[in-house]
Chains A and B, each alone.
Chain A
């Protein structure tokens, strides 16, 4: 009887301390395996201390999440923390709705300089961090080592020209002329074109990717963009790159089923590719090819965590605590292992367990090698413009027109650029 009373008393006490906790809402866009890893971070945070409790909500894709944010801002009820993709940077920063992370860091002496330089470079806008990079990715080349061996190829292709040559060698047909193995499966995806432009030192938008001044026009229809789009379009029309449209899952499936020997994808897909291949063949990852004689580096992808205004101070403090926890070295190591995103701080790279993990999983280290060897130029810093999502659609539309043979690559890109420029002008006039 006494025990029971004690238990009741304790549970009332527990409930009252739970009530005293500061609750913060965390919105994220991670589904599947990556979603489970995100939930583990939230649980870990809640267990790590007593005063704050993070409540996580999956808000759909990055685009869906932004839509929900728009609605929440109108209703004056934004989440405390939201994961927002790289492209959202300028729009979110200029909205005046976020608490710059740099301000919070300065206040309690938190050192943000441990963030890896390529990420710092991308997410710094006018000397400030509006959000803090959380899940970082990079585009890379995945290739089927067994298929390479069968075709007598011993190392990955480094240039566009070499890649085409490889793709021809890797394309196999049966007696009746049907393709049984394609050289590559590269889908229609604007992000790839952006990365291939940076790899040549080019810019997607003017004013050096919008980094010296606000972007006023696009430059993806310049020589670097034309070369990148032509490379993919020509291979597709020749039949050595299988055309899977915009579908990321179909692209991956072509590779993991052994129907295509090479493909380009984000490091974030490493977990899914490994699982789908299931050890049926060996595959490796490496940096993207580039046209011979060009120089450049890859920009980052992924998302950052932003903290929203219009919340009481104690809630903002909890939000900031959560963000610090999410990028702490051990948490980022577990995150890296589970997802294929790479760690955002140098401290994680230096952990002994990280080094041991890489020794056994060389594919997991590839993105770090790629991103740390990228020259620190304004090109590889990545483009900022308020309408990047729209720009991406225009590039994709141009690729499809060219693949269908309805326009030359130059014509299609110029038409797309005209639409993008109109959108940029409209955006710029709306923020001033």
Chain B
């Protein structure tokens, strides 16, 4: 039995007291969560069964009509698909890139600390600042990326103006920002792998590739699992960069569900309808999270 979780045997009463004490410590967090997460979630559900006239402040009960309308709303369906594409574009890149960076950072090269800071820096940059930096990098005529392409004789690309490229361009910007966090997480995972295991394998004549595949990777699975769940939820609710770079355009190519909810609610003032969409998005994300949690069976905890 694991020493840390064992409770010294002295009867049930003691355990209950420990639990009560525990809840006491949790109370402030639970209170805040109840107030700012659970209560709004339920009032959102309630709001999604209403409709309202702009500026009048009154809500009219419409039952499930908002949900019935959603079934017919093609723009909403395509926004869900766009969300999925966006997630598939960002999560693998930010985890794969994070893993690669972590493996490279794990070696003790001179000046490695500086590299670690540089890699983590994008995570500390506010979304708005990062988005504005990308706006200039992607600028069709004065942007550095097109400038670099020009230096090697390639034609400029309309990164954010071409509907077939815009979503990928946005995904790269977002993946870049998430990569640093994954790299640090995975680096911590790498550093917690006992040196003896690798030493032993090396003595048995295993190649570095074999060590990585059979020892490092399995022991990293808890971190990878965590990064993939957090990354997916993050990707499916990305708003800032889209608002600042494309506003859902061109031709709806970057209209992810969250952005559509924002326009319906805060530009068109259809709060009930927007909340109904938010509820559907919540169910979709919950579904994906449950699907992913099946992966946990393949996770090796030490």
Q: Is the CB of B141 within 8 A of A179?
A: yes
A55 at the interface (CB under 8 A from B): no
Q: Which of B49-57, B121-129, B171-179, B288-296 interfaces with chain A? A: B49-57
A70 at the interface (CB under 8 A from B): yes
A74 at the interface (CB under 8 A from B): yes
Q: Is the CB of B53 within 8 A of A245?
A: no
A80 at the interface (CB under 8 A from B): no
Q: Please tell me the number of chain B residues within 8 Å of chain A, measured between CB atoms.
A: 35
B240 at the interface (CB under 8 A from A): no
Residue of B with least CB distance to A412: B251
Given contact pairs A244-B161, A401-B251, A63 touches B139 in the complex (Cβ within 8 A): no
Which residues in chain B, 154-181, are within 8 Å of chain A measured between CB atoms?
A: 155-156, 158, 160-164
Give complex CA distance A62, B162 in Å: 28
* Choice from B163, B246, B266 contacting A406 with Cβ under 8 Å: B163
* Choice from A253, A403, A406 contacting B142 with Cβ under 8 Å: A253
Give complex CA distance A66, B263 in Å: 13
Which residues of chain A have C-beta atoms less than 8 A from B156's C-beta? 178-179
Q: Is the CB of A243 within 8 A of B161?
A: yes
Residue of A with least CB distance to B252: A397
Which residues in chain A, 157-199, are within 8 Å of chain B measured between CB atoms?
A: 176-179, 182, 185, 188
Give complex CA distance A406, B163 in Å: 10
Q: Is the CB of B56 within 8 A of A95?
A: yes
Give complex CA distance A207, B259 in Å: 33
Which residues of chain B have C-beta atoms less than 8 A from A178's C-beta? 150, 155-156
Interface of A is mostly: helix
Which residues of chain B have C-beta atoms less than 8 A from A70's C-beta? 54-55, 57, 269
Give complex CA distance A417, B161 in Å: 23
Which residues in chain A, 403-424, are within 8 Å of chain B measured between CB atoms?
A: 403-404, 406, 423
A303 to chain B, nearest CB (A): 16
B247 at the interface (CB under 8 A from A): yes
Give complex CA distance A67, B266 in Å: 6
1/0 per residue A377-408: CB within 8 Å of B? 00000000011011001001100110110100
Q: Which of A41-49, A254-262, A287-295 interfaces with chain B? A: A254-262
Interface of B is mostly: loop
Which residues of chain A have C-beta atoms less than 8 A from B249's C-beta? 188, 245-246, 396-397, 400
B218 at the interface (CB under 8 A from A): no
Given contact pairs A67-B266, A260-B141, A401-B251, A245 touches B55 in the complex (Cβ within 8 A): no
Give complex CA distance A67, B262 in Å: 11
A91 at the interface (CB under 8 A from B): yes
Q: Is the CB of B142 within 8 A of A257?
A: yes
Which residues of chain A have C-beta atoms less than 8 A from B252's C-beta? 397, 400
Give complex CA distance A291, B263 in Å: 33
Q: Is the CB of B161 within 8 A of A253?
A: no
Residue of A with least CB distance to B164: A404
A154 at the interface (CB under 8 A from B): no
* Choice from A69, A91, A188, A250 contacting B139 with Cβ under 8 Å: A250
Residues of B in contact with A (beta carbons under 8 Å apart): 51-57, 135-136, 139-142, 150, 153, 155-156, 158, 160-164, 245-247, 249-252, 263, 266-269
Q: Write 15 A-B pairs (CB below 8 A) sorted by A numbering.
A: A69-B55, A73-B55, A178-B155, A179-B141, A179-B156, A243-B161, A244-B139, A249-B135, A254-B142, A260-B141, A393-B263, A393-B267, A400-B251, A430-B52, A430-B54
Residues of A in contact with B (beta carbons under 8 Å apart): 63-64, 66-67, 69-70, 73-74, 91-92, 94-97, 176-179, 182, 185, 188, 242-247, 249-250, 253-254, 257, 259-260, 386-387, 389-390, 393, 396-397, 400-401, 403-404, 406, 423, 427, 430-431
